[in-house]
Structure 1
Amino acid sequence: MSNVQKYTYPPRKDGTARTVWRASWKAQDGKRQSKTFARKRDADAHLIEVGAGRIGGTATMTVADMAEHHIRYFDTLVRTGKRAAVSLDGYAGMLRNHVRADSAFANRKLNDLRSPDCQSFLDDLFVRTGSSDLCVRARRCLVTWCRFAMRKGWLNTNPAQPCVVEREAAARDGEPDFELPEKELLQQLLVAAGEGDNPERDSAAIRLLMFGGLRISEMLGLADDAVAIRPKAATIKVRERLDRHYCTLDRPKSAKGRRDVPLGQSAALAVRTWRMARGPVRAFNHIDGQRQTRRVAGRLFPDPVKGEGVWSYNDFINQCWVPVMRRAGLVEMLPDAKGKNRPVTPFGPHMLRHVAVSLWLSQNPQPSVKKVQTLVGHANIQMTMDLYGHLWTDPSGDDAIAAASEQLLG
């Protein structure tokens, strides 16, 4: 059993007291070990480092048992509406497909679980799959499961917390993570959206993405009354999103995702024209993120085949995005892994979200970082700066700084 204890020694001759924190644990040979630290956090961190961050009473509980207990607890949160079912599926899938695939790790007792064990599991997972994103999700699951075990008293510290997953090198300093399409290509896209078999629908969808900066899930999850049309503008009330994989309607992932987005005259007119061509929509029964069936309002973009319900992500890509890109002359037919030709576009619909931000920042004066964060619905301002910081420019201000610096010594 490991623990951290506080020791206060008698004052020194100069009158100052001396307090230390002693970390003690049982080594692999069964002998007790201890080490003192000036701060408790350092003592706790050391227990994690030596893999002693655990307490007694869990001699038979394994890593897989710990994960199953957490999943059952999380299922209750889902059923009471506190968490989304997609997260529950993620935990269950990680346990089923990856943790249990490594039987030695899945069956390791919590009393013997150390940070190197968790790190070895993540390293082996990367070797098997070659996916650093999967390893990041696996680490996140392990940290959550161990944190749950700490609350239950099964672990004293979190052995998964110090683990590291190597990610791909970030973009170089000053180099953006994406390259915006040329304006000529975007103009071609707008023209192509107004052609084809469903010009009203395609124009409304493309303009909502390009000028409203919506995520695809947010556009497909819009209720019909979520876009309020005014004479020369409109307001988009983002209150729901459509899950890409499960097609469930749920709330935005963060509080910042719930927002009102302004829309200009041309995009507002496109939405009004689409509504007139589409006709009225009816409420329908649908499954939400808690796997509960509820009555929801008709969507702005219902399923084109049924005329009601939701328009899935894959159907949007196949029925709208690829045809519009093909009419714009922006589709190449390239062989896939099986040698069969597939349509490939130079960028996906999410790129139009970046285009919207670039258009906002092309205005004079430019909107503030906080305003852009609000419009795009980022959870924090750092995310906005990481993505779009390179788009904030002030040439005149830079020139003034350079001229002033020269005058200081002139």
Structure 2
Amino acid sequence: MSIRKRTWTNGKGEEKTAWVVDYADGKGTRRLKTFAKKKDADQFAATAKVEVREGSHVADNASVTVKAAGAFWIATGEQDGLERSSIDQRKRHLQLHIEPFIGQTLLSHFTVPGAREFADKLRENGRSPAMVRKVMGSLASIFSDAQERGLATRNPVKDLRGARRRGKERQADKRQKSRLKIGVDIPTREEIKAIVGAATGRWRPLLISAIFTGMRSSELRGLRWQDVDFERAQISVHQRADDYGEIGRPKSEAGERTIPVPPMVVNALREWKLACPRRPTGDIDAAGNPVKELHYVFPTGSGNIESRSNMTKRGFLPTQVMAGVTVPSDERDDAGEVVLVGKYGGMHALRHFYASWSINRPQDGGLGLPPKVIQERLGHSSIMMTMDVYGHLFPRGDDADEMAAAERSLLG
């Protein structure tokens, strides 16, 4: 590695001077980098020498912009078979939040202070704390993909102080954020009773099934009648429908499962099957009429896959209002009264209830199932996921009644 002074005369006859760092990168390729001041050249040479020795140096002309790296990142997701919704989320994060601020920045020029400044810009421009976290996570993923391609040597986002915390601290934060509360995130037993009592029409079998199976809304949308076993009182999950109405496998291998159901679900589905819309098969019968078949359990009026928003906005939310499970909104009606809306914004709240019902002791009106069985019923990929989200709901072994029983057993 050498530093030399370069002198030349421009078109106006003026003498110009620059300092050139001449070196070979980690792959042995000769690189030249020019500086106006010798101290800048000396500083770069010292840094590059260490980086080349450590195998962490990437020259500017071997790097790419954040925008180009983001395009590679999206292509990687498509090659890995990510769901369409995940790819679309990557595109939104890149186009709406990353490119406007740092899209033209070279990866080799992006530093830890730059990552901190970018996060601050997101906040200053109206991004919510949750959105900032998600976008910073996407940016970290872009740098990880670029590292694998040899376009970057460091991941400045992961080097931020908040991202460098120990694993135990991150897990503790994760558990704290995931600590669901009864009556806030999870409907109470009284609220579930009211919802079941208020549910009518095509939404009744859907909501009852969601409450007593814990199935994800995507799994309910993709459920077929052939997956419902009335004789054995169980439902098998073999597929799901994404937000675009495309059928695919469950979210994980553990998502393919069989769930026993109570008589209320069996009876509601038996009754619903008689009125369930059928979908066209594409065939015509002898009279020239289209042949239709029972296929999806909770379809649209034409027998096709129902949308997630319809299930929530036309089914779950209005049923909560009829059941009195409401909270005040920011809107007022024509009479000036505050408009009440459904308390729980999405059907995932019913999945949370199913988990809590499975955890609760029989004397408290629950099933009292062990964690491993609950994991299997919910279709979680690992027991850690189940315990991280619902571990705080399990009854403590040192509750007063249990302590008294243990004392009697020990002392006779």
When normalised by structure 1's length, the TM-score is: 0.71
**Which has more radius of gyration?**
2
Contact 2:175 2:389 in 1 (8 A): no
C-alpha distance in 1 between matches for 2:294 and 2:278: 11
Question: Residue 8 of structure 2 aligns with which residue?
Answer: none
Residues 101, 264 of structure 1: CA spacing in aligned structure 2 closer, same or farther, 3 A cutoff? same
SS in 1 for 2:44: coil
CA positional deviation for 1:359? 2.1
Q: How far apart in 1 are the matches of 2:229 and 2:403?
A: 41
Residues 341 and 119 of structure 1: CA distance in aligned 2, closer, same or farther (over 3 Å): same
Residues 228-265 of structure 1: CA distance to partner in whole angstroms, max 9, x if unpaired?
A: 221xx522222323334x34333322222222211112
Match of 1:94 in 2: 93
Aligned-residue offset at 1:119:
2.8
Percent of aligned positions that are identical: 23
Q: CA 1:111–1:392 in structure 2 vs 1: closer, same or farther (change >3 Å)?
A: closer
In the other structure, the counterpart of 1:354 is: 352
Return the match for 1:366 from 365, 368, 373: 368
Match of 2:246 among 220, 245, 248: 248
Contact 2:321 2:341 in 1 (8 A): no
Aligned to 1:203: 204
Give the deviation of 1:312 after TM superposition.
0.9
**What SS class does the counterpart of residue 260 from structure 2 fall into?**
strand
Name the CA distance, whole Å, in 1 between partners of 2:210 and 2:218.
11
Partner of 1:72: 75
Shift of 1:56: 2.8
TM-aligned CA deviation for residue 300 of structure 1: 0.9
1:280 positional shift: 4.2
Matches within 5 A, 1:32-181: 32-33=46-47, 53-56=56-59, 58-59=61-62, 61-77=64-80, 82-102=81-101, 105-163=102-160, 164=162, 176-179=180-183, 180-181=186-187
Aligned length: 345
Are the structure 2 counterparts of residues 397 and 92 from structure 1 closer, same or farther at C-alpha, using a change threshold of 3 Å? Answer: same
Q: What is aligned with 2:324? A: 329
| Shift, 1:341, TM fit | 6.6
Aligned to 2:386: 384
State the alpha-carbon separation in 2 of the partners of residues 133 and 224 from structure 1: 39
Instruction: Kindly state the Cα deviation for residue 278 of structure 1 after the two structures are TM-superposed.
Output: 1.8
1:29 aligned residue: 43
Measured against aligned partners, the alpha-carbon deviations of 1:319-347 in whole angstroms (never above 9, x if no partner) come to 22233223323346633499997551122
Structure 1 residue 223: Cα displacement: 2.3
CA positional deviation for 1:271: 1.0
Structure 1: state its 5+ residue gaps. 4-25, 37-42, 285-295
Structure 2 CA distance for aligned equivalents of residues 229 and 214 of structure 1: 17
Map Cα deviations across residues 170-198 of structure 1 (whole Å, 9 max, x no partner). 787997444344433322221211x4xx1
Q: TM-score, normalised by structure 2?
A: 0.71
Q: State the distance in 2 between where 1:60 and 1:141 align.
A: 19
CA change 1:386–1:71 in 2 (3 A) is: closer
Which of 291, 300, 304 pairs up with 1:303?
300
1:35, distance to aligned residue in structure 2 (A): 11
The one-letter amino acid of 1:186's match is: I
User: In the alignment, is the contact (CA less than 8 A) between 1:229 and 1:235 conserved in 2?
Assistant: yes
What residue identity is the alignment partner of 1:135?
Answer: V
Note the aligned Cα RMSD (angstroms). Answer: 3.9
